[in-house]
Structure formats: C-alpha cells, structure tokens
C-alpha cells in the first residue's frame, strides 16, 4: 500500500460545516493536510453523498452553486469512479465482513486507488479490510498524524 488516504463523506462534511465544533477542527486539519500532501483519495459515491448532505441534510444548507464549486475543487484529488468491478468487489466485501453494501463500496473504492488508510466515522477503527486500515479520526490516536502537517 501507499501513504494515500481515502476520506469518507462525513469527514468532508465536518471539514466544511463550521457548527460541527471539535469535529470541524479535526476534519479541517485532515483535509488541509491531505490537500498539501496531495495524498487524499475520494470516490464518486463520497462526492455524491457530500453534495446531498451539504445541500439538504445539514441545518444551514449550502447553496447549490457553492456546493458545486466545492465539489469541483475536490475533483483535483484522486477520485475513484465506481464501476462494475467495484460493485462486484463491494459485494464480496459485504459478504466476507458482514458490512453494509455502501460501506463495502467505500472500502472497494479505497482499495481500487491503493489507499493505505480509510478515515471514516462509520466503521470500527483499527480493523484492516482488504489491506486498508480503517481509522476513526475522532476516536483513534493513530489518526492524529493525518491532521498534523508532515515534515
């Protein structure tokens, strides 16, 4: 694997959403570091969920043109395009690890882009799935390095 880090939807949302308190601070640090290091990885699924959350699900939704601008910027990251192969792999992950299909899609996308780390709040931190280490940046001290600048 590599030093590439796959970022799940909620991390992006918290980085954008000022009212997320401490989670905003942590997520903003992570996203900033991944921009600087150019090690951030996303998927089309993450960007779709991010758009819907920003424009419809948070208490103060972002205007659609602003959401498009934010997503346009994230297209500079390495984006996994979920295809038929990703869907089949996600189905296998779902079955093997007893996960939801959507969480399995995230793992399959991270794997497809050779990400060593998956930062998410939705899975148990510390587990390794298909060679991808899952970390919850809000609970796992090992994830702190992803919010701190690398020298």
Q: Identify the residue whose tokens are 């969480």.
A: 103
Contact 63, 26 (CB under 8 A): no
Give all domains of the chain, ordered by start, each with its CATH number: 5-146 (3.40.50.1010)
Sign of CA dihedral 145, 42, 38, 128: positive
Distance of CA 16 to the CA centre of its chain: 13
Report pLDDT for 150: 43
Q: How far apart are CA 127 and CA 105, in angstroms?
A: 16
> What are the per-10-residue average pLDDT scores of the chain (151 residues)?
86 92 93 94 97 95 96 97 97 97 97 96 91 91 55 36
> How many residues does the structure list for the chain?
151
């Amino acid at each position: 694997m590599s030093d590439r880090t796959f970022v799940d939807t909620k991390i992006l949302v918290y980085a954008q959403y000022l009212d997320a308190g401490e989670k905003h601070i942590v997520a903003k640090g992570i996203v900033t570091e991944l921009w600087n290091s150019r090690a951030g990885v996303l998927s089309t699924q993450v960007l779709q969920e991010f758009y819907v959350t920003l424009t419809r699900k948070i208490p103060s939704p972002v205007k659609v043109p602003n959401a498009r601008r934010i997503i346009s910027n994230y297209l500079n990251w390495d984006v996994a395009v979920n295809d038929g192969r990703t869907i089949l792999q996600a189905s296998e992950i779902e079955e093997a690890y007893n996960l939801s299909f959507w969480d399995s899609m995230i793992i399959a996308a991270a794997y497809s882009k050779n990400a060593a780390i998956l930062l998410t709040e939705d899975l148990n931190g510390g587990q390794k799935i298909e060679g991808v280490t899952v970390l919850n940046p809000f609970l796992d001290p090992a994830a702190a390095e992803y919010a701190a600048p690398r020298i």
